[in-house]
Structure 1
Amino acid sequence: MTAMTNRDIQHIFESLRKGLVPERGIDAFAVGIEKLRGEMERQLELAEGGEGTIKFLRGGYGCGKTFMARLSLLDAQTHGFATSFVVVSDNDLRFHRFDDVYRKVMIELGTNVCPRGAMGDILDRWIGKVEDALIASGEDENADDFDAKVRKRLDDDLASMTGGQAPQDFIRVIQTIFDLKQQGNAAEAGSLISWLCGSGNVAASAKKAAGIKGDITSRDALDYLRGVLEIVKAAGYKGLVIVIDEAETILRMRKDSRHKSLNGIRQIADAAGSYPKMLWVFTGTPDFFDSRQGVAGLAPLHDRIQFMKQGRFASLRQAQLELTPFDAERLRSVAVKLRELYPTNDQSRIDSKVSIEFIDRLVDEVTKGFKGDVGVVPRQFLRQFVTQLDLVDENEDYDPMTEYGFEPQDLSSEEQLAISGAALTQGDGDDDGEPPVAEDIW
């Protein structure tokens, strides 16, 4: 487990109070997922060894897909990878447009020293490594031609790393960013970094400086991502891990967008092996993977990543990694971990008032509130549990055993359905056959 700071601890509890998965510190209360975490570690080892790979996390609502994905990203950063965490949305991320996906990947690009929007820092680290290498080979950093030698080395390295496959605009932008930085023009260099990250709101003057006109297109975005991956590695990182969370959102899109999005995932899966040291991680529900509106309706993708199970056994190493629902014992273990972690000046009172007996009662009452479905209760359970810790910490005379009564708050659609006992349905119901498998969207 990584060392915990007070800021990390505060972040954990603030996130849980809002019903959200914390973005850091979550390994402190990760229980019951050791084998799953081990498989994701194996994927990181494959990527570190030079493989380009892809993994799909499958599980129903409340199984901890987002938690597992975020934990995998934290583990990746600990191993020296750059990472990006993208949530599929039908509002600001049209997954069938890869320029949208690329833009979100770049916005969320992070490292262990720069958690978000890290492209500028990664470029600086790459340039610094090139400068250090030249100095180590005997070049004088104060010589008039030193910058020209650095620029040439950057150009040579970029051509070598990308095998000449990077778009020419990509090359020109990198060159111009370096020139502008050396001239002290940080503003225009920053504008070009924004353009490189997929922004469509870059001043014409910055584009003119680099000799570019338009924006990154959907068809070019994968090639740009290849260039970014090589710069990430040249900057000293082990590789790149990209999470695409909540892929089941695609099921709620219009039929044409859904088909194109599934075809996009098929293209990512097909191309993954040609991106050495990059790991894609997708999360989705069984309905997303198994229904005709989802992966099962696109034969080329389904054949490649289909989930196989022998009785109650499923290999962890297949394309889809199955996350199983919480049970009462796992909820109890998470609660005990959080109780130990809770920031208080009187730990003994917390332990006494929020006892194991109360934790068991809380598990029972929240589960009853959701018609006995333990698998769907974790988010509400953790919110309720943190509230009880807060009330005990804030009020000396508060006794949760006598005062507590379960009242679900801010229910998600899945939680509302669980309480009502209705079935969860997704998609628009107008699917009349397989998606067009031959269409090349990107």
Structure 2
Amino acid sequence: MTTTVPKRTLSVLMNALSSGVVPRRGLEYIAVGRKKETETFVSDLEDTAEGGGAFRFISGRFGNGKSFMIQMVRNYALDRGFVTMDADLSINRRLTGSKKEGLNTYMELIKTMAVKTRPDGGALEPMLEIVADGIIEDLKASDMEIDQDSVFKKLTKMTESMSAMQHYRDFIKMITSYCIDHASEKDDIPSVRWFKGEYDSKNEVKRDLEISLLINDENWYDMIKLWAGFSRSVGYKGLVVFIDEGIVLYKLQSKQSRQNNYERLLTIFNDIMQGRSSYLSMYVCGTPEFIEDQNRGLYSYGALRSRLTTGRYENGYDNYLGPVINLRPLTNEELFVLLRTVKGLHEQRYDYTSEIDDQKMETYLRSVIANSVSPSLLTPREVTRDLISLLDTLHQNPGLRFDNLIHGRKVTPDADPADDIIEGLDI
């Protein structure tokens, strides 16, 4: 029996799945498989909350569940009190570049900063407001002046564990500046622009904020570490960062640009894995080519290859504890369960009962496999999107029957690929 899903969540799920994109909410209703991967991520979050962290690459073909997986982890982290940030890389958003591409990535991460009460991003200012309100209230209760000195002292005491971090004093000065401006109910607060990376020159920063630190391509990761420490200091469990579309780096035409980005990736990887950061985990998603191609991928950069290649004893076995998590294809049974779940959600969304029972669902799966180039290339994205299209058509055309739509397609019940995918289904 299908679990009852809130109407708004159900609408988001159906719209996203029918478009072949990952929904931001409701993923728990369609999660199938990935138990071992999930256990690894849960363990990572526990380590992060204890002051450590993790850096992992998530590898999988297009449509095989990378974005779904990181969205699941993101939602899990938010529910358990972490701050999250996420960004898709693009031609203008990378880890470093000559035209502020690294800064653009930082700006996107800040834009998508999320907490449980603001799961869709935009949590920067609400978080700062809460901190400022708490400090102002404490100062008023102690009959103290709300000025730069008293606020700065409160903040440095609150963030004492961060004091040795790069750019700490400038960061806390900007939090102090925000608190003062917030207390005076100022509308346009310069420190917010600074936190968002919107200043273009040191002269502007010095003029408006009386510091010389400009957030740029060179130091944006240092700022991420500061946000991780600050998040912990103000009551969250830590910071989890997700970077998708790593394939963008693989596709860079300039070898030097690729190498520069891989070098920056190595620096961040080493920093987190060697324990030089605290309360911070990062996940980078990409295709197998992005990681394993020895001409253009991460393996083309010797220092990364030596860290990411599989150990001699793995011999083809799954390893969910290493730096690279390879998302395996869903099993035959998992695919079937996913399709049956999606069918149930579609019926619930439009308040009807379809004619597709388990036997017809099996026929549908045979049809899809028989018409695919290769069963091994079939992805959950394709299968679910096509099923929703089929269900939409049947629901809107009552005279049509399931067999009418499936008939004529190259369904070969006795063909090996179809038998392979159906064999072992627990239905």
Provide the TM-score with structure 1 as the length reference.
0.81
The correspondence for 2:359, drawn from 357, 360, 367, is 357
Q: Residue 222 of structure 2 aligns with which residue?
A: 223
Structure 1 contact 57–320 (Cα < 8 Å) conserved: yes
Q: Residue 259 of structure 1 aligns with which residue?
A: 259
Deviation of residue 295 (structure 1)? 1.6
The correspondence for 2:398, drawn from 386, 396, 404, is 396
Q: Residue 141 of structure 1 aligns with which residue?
A: 141
The correspondence for 1:117, drawn from 113, 122, 130, is 122
Deviation of residue 159 (structure 1)? 5.6
Deviation of residue 4 (structure 1)? 4.6
Mapped partners of 2:4, 2:396: distance in 1: 27
1:276–1:405 distance in 2 versus 1, CA, 3 Å: farther
**Range that drifts further, 31-40 or 121-130:** 121-130
Identity within the alignment, %: 21
The correspondence for 1:320, drawn from 324, 330, 334, is 324
Structure 1 contact 62–325 (Cα < 8 Å) conserved: no
Structure 2 contact 24–71 (Cα < 8 Å) conserved: yes
Mapped partners of 1:176, 1:389: distance in 2: 56
1:9–1:58 distance in 2 versus 1, CA, 3 Å: same
Structure 2 alignment gaps of length 5 or more: 410-427
What's the CA shift string for 1:376-435, capped at 9, x where partnerless? 33222211111223234434333233234799xxxxxxxxxxxxxxxxxxxxxxxxxxxx
1:334 counterpart = 2:338: yes
SS of the residue corresponding to residue 198 of structure 2 reads coil
Mapped partners of 2:130, 2:408: distance in 1: 51
What's the CA shift string for 1:247-303, capped at 9, x where partnerless? 122110021211111111101111112221111111122222222121212222222
Stretches of 4+ moved more than 6 A in 1? 204-207
SS of the residue corresponding to residue 64 of structure 2 reads coil
Structure 1 contact 61–376 (Cα < 8 Å) conserved: no
1:17–1:405 distance in 2 versus 1, CA, 3 Å: farther
Mapped partners of 1:262, 1:406: distance in 2: 49
What's the CA shift string for 1:86-137, capped at 9, x where partnerless? 11212x30332432332221112111111212111121233344456x3xxx
Structure 2 contact 129–182 (Cα < 8 Å) conserved: no
The correspondence for 1:371, drawn from 370, 373, 383, is 373
Mapped partners of 2:28, 2:186: distance in 1: 42
Count of residues in correspondence between the two structures: 395
Deviation of residue 53 (structure 1)? 1.7
Q: Residue 286 of structure 2 aligns with which residue?
A: 284
Q: Residue 153 of structure 1 aligns with which residue?
A: 154
RMSD: 2.8
Mapped partners of 2:266, 2:90: distance in 1: 19
Mapped partners of 1:395, 1:255: distance in 2: 54
1:395–1:162 distance in 2 versus 1, CA, 3 Å: farther
1:201–1:184 distance in 2 versus 1, CA, 3 Å: farther
SS of the residue corresponding to residue 279 of structure 1 reads strand
Q: Which amino acid aligns with 2:303?
A: P
SS of the residue corresponding to residue 141 of structure 2 reads coil
Mapped partners of 1:26, 1:10: distance in 2: 12
Structure 1 contact 126–234 (Cα < 8 Å) conserved: no
Q: Residue 9 of structure 2 aligns with which residue?
A: 8
Note the 1:31-430 alignment, pairs <5 A: 31-90=32-91, 92-97=92-97, 98-114=102-118, 115-130=120-135, 134=138, 140-141=140-141, 143=143, 145=145, 149-158=150-159, 160-163=161-164, 165-166=166-167, 168-187=169-188, 189=189, 191-200=190-199, 208-212=207-211, 215-253=214-252, 254-272=254-272, 273-292=275-294, 293-308=296-311, 310-342=314-346, 343-344=348-349, 346-347=351-352, 349-350=353-354, 353-404=355-406
Q: Which amino acid aligns with 2:113?
A: L
Structure 1 contact 29–334 (Cα < 8 Å) conserved: yes
Mapped partners of 1:391, 1:69: distance in 2: 31
Structure 2 contact 64–381 (Cα < 8 Å) conserved: no
